[in-house]
Structure 1
């Protein structure tokens, strides 16, 4: 997977050297895509060596900083950027290595198509990551005052200092979503590519603003609402690639239930809380020295970003229910792949795919398609 693309890039690089032309941004992206293991690994090793030999500030790449010795809690600062940079590299390397050396080999015994093996590996990496973050995020929310109590999002604002686990959790999520921008560029684009780009931009704005301006309680709640359906959807797709039809469809039904409850209902409650409850509990003011970044208009900025994300969620919800209705009515799901992709895979039928998740995979604009 990575080695094959690496050899192709090396041939292009040799031709580039011969012509002495400057590298383009696309060629740089191609280089990173072809070296997803070794390039970030070099960065990681260099940082670890620097830390071990005692280079000043290199600990900031690996560990969270800004601990308050009086409270034992952690604040925020510009130095958190070092942490984000390091873990963007960690996620890039881990994703590529786990896909190439663990997840793709697992698929070999069950999946004949090379393209489907790659898709299986991508989805299983998603399952692994979001399973971990959902468990940690739920643990943090459950042991917080805002567990099913949205008023606590706003009471006592600003919430400047964080526990050790909470700060690790939030910054790891932040670095993962930053790394996802790179993943979007190297994966075969999906039919809903524009919506995915909007989703990622919106999500990164929410994460960065909530962290920087001390809205992390509501940020944790949003993370938890989003992570569970991602686990189940990726798991359903993985079963689909393995042709485990009954398990695939059962998992999809569970995903759809969790999607409606967490992403539509619970996230809708969070939006309602943002619209109504700050007026009851927040002292609206801009006082950065004391961690307060909440002039009254800030409420509408947060609300606009949340609603923007909610519209995308509703868009995908409608698409899923349309496909579900077609399948329940007995219509086969048509294969909408382009002919060149079918030729690449070589083993895939052009007939419709029966099964709920298969229908989602081919009709709900959630399946990768080859870039024209």
Structure 2
């Protein structure tokens, strides 16, 4: 433990004390839950925090009379007590990982770059998110490749509700929710500036709402397919911003991000309209049943499609404003350069005429002064 170096010893339970020791406190809780597995009595309760819950074992018989066991997890509707405990544990793990990345990677780079306070805050934000997006993209892409969700688009609505999921799918959603929940207290722990809190709080809440909604409404496949390309685009953006802070001439990554951003927005809208507007509306088991986890009714479909469309429209609006702002800054930087070049050209044209007169005497091009005529005596 001891992720942060403490120069002073603030008062116990003060704000500064909590901020300096929040990673150590989280690591102590994690170690306590892990040690609980070693003893019989606390192990029954510690396993609820550490292991993924609601597992059901299925057996299938092969042609050679061999039995294969599949451990599948079933999400029980509106019974999230055990899931909340698991999310809390991995939220503590995320706080520890956040502190490790900040202390041993980002802070060391910041000392070398000597960034301003504004750039320092944005660099830390992009550094943390770049690590998370990279890890989530690789993990999510491996799940899509293993389950072959992309090969059959009809699987998004076929056999709905998808209340049964494999271990890696459920664990992926648990970790995603845990990470974005841990980002809320990190706004306080990392002393985020008041100007940046509304912006970060907005996208954190959007992530929590959309990922939790996909998990609760048994839309895990659609949520996973939409998350993977979105995380790739965000990874490119934050990686480009990190390179930009190290060298302001490196801006090619933003061009790639802009192209992929628009493509992913169109992909998200297309899959959402196809799933909620056509697929789920034509399945054989429409209806609302909490016991079965079936939420395939018109108000729910309209609400989900409306939420996705509004979010994509808001993101495109922010994207357009960002591009216009960069274009205006580029134009402002070009105008002074034109003025400087014009003034230089004017000066170069006037300099040869002025060079012919030195100390009031005119000089020829070769440098010799003309002869002065002597006045004849009268």
**TM class by smaller structure:** 0.7 to 0.9
CA gap of 1:271–1:213, structure 2 versus 1, over 3 A, is: closer
**Residue equivalent to 2:234:** 230
1:258 aligns with 2:260: yes
Q: 8 Å contact 2:26–2:96 — kept in the other structure?
A: yes
More strand by share: 2
**Residue equivalent to 1:38:** 24
Cα distance in 2 between the residues matched to 1:195 and 1:119: 12
CA gap of 1:257–1:87, structure 2 versus 1, over 3 A, is: same
Question: How far does the alpha carbon of each residue in 1:95-131 deviate from its partner, in whole angstroms, 9 at most, with x for none?
Answer: 1222112321133233354764554343222111110
Cα distance in 2 between the residues matched to 1:82 and 1:307: 32
Tell which has more relative contact order, 1 or 2 (C-alpha 8 A, sep 6+). 1
Cα distance in 1 between the residues matched to 2:245 and 2:34: 38
Cα distance in 2 between the residues matched to 1:31 and 1:154: 51
1:267 aligns with 2:255: no
- Aligned residues, how many? 314
Give the stretch that moved more between structures: 135-144 or 183-192. Answer: 183-192
Considering only CA atoms, is the larger Rg found in Structure 1 or Structure 2?
A: 2
CA gap of 1:7–1:149, structure 2 versus 1, over 3 A, is: farther
Question: How far does the alpha carbon of each residue in 1:212-231 deviate from its partner, in whole angstroms, 9 at most, with x for none?
Answer: 22111111122113211221
**Residue equivalent to 2:288:** 286
**Residue equivalent to 1:311:** 313
Alignment gaps of 5+ in structure 2: 59-69, 336-378
SS at match of 2:72: coil
CA gap of 1:58–1:282, structure 2 versus 1, over 3 A, is: farther
1:299 aligns with 2:301: yes
1:63 aligns with 2:51: yes
CA gap of 1:293–1:231, structure 2 versus 1, over 3 A, is: same
Cα distance in 2 between the residues matched to 1:159 and 1:253: 38
CA gap of 1:299–1:88, structure 2 versus 1, over 3 A, is: same
Q: 8 Å contact 2:52–2:86 — kept in the other structure?
A: yes
Cα distance in 1 between the residues matched to 2:272 and 2:21: 41
Alignment gaps of 5+ in structure 1: 15-26, 334-372
1:220 aligns with 2:220: no
How much does 1:233 deviate? Answer: 1.5
CA gap of 1:45–1:318, structure 2 versus 1, over 3 A, is: same
**Residue equivalent to 1:100:** 103
Moved >6 Å (runs of 4+):
none
CA gap of 1:105–1:66, structure 2 versus 1, over 3 A, is: same
* TM norm structure 2: 0.74
SS at match of 1:293: strand
Give the stretch that moved more between structures: 165-174 or 290-299. Answer: 290-299
CA gap of 1:231–1:191, structure 2 versus 1, over 3 A, is: same
Q: 1:89 aligns with which of 85, 89, 92?
A: 92
How much does 1:191 deviate? Answer: 4.9
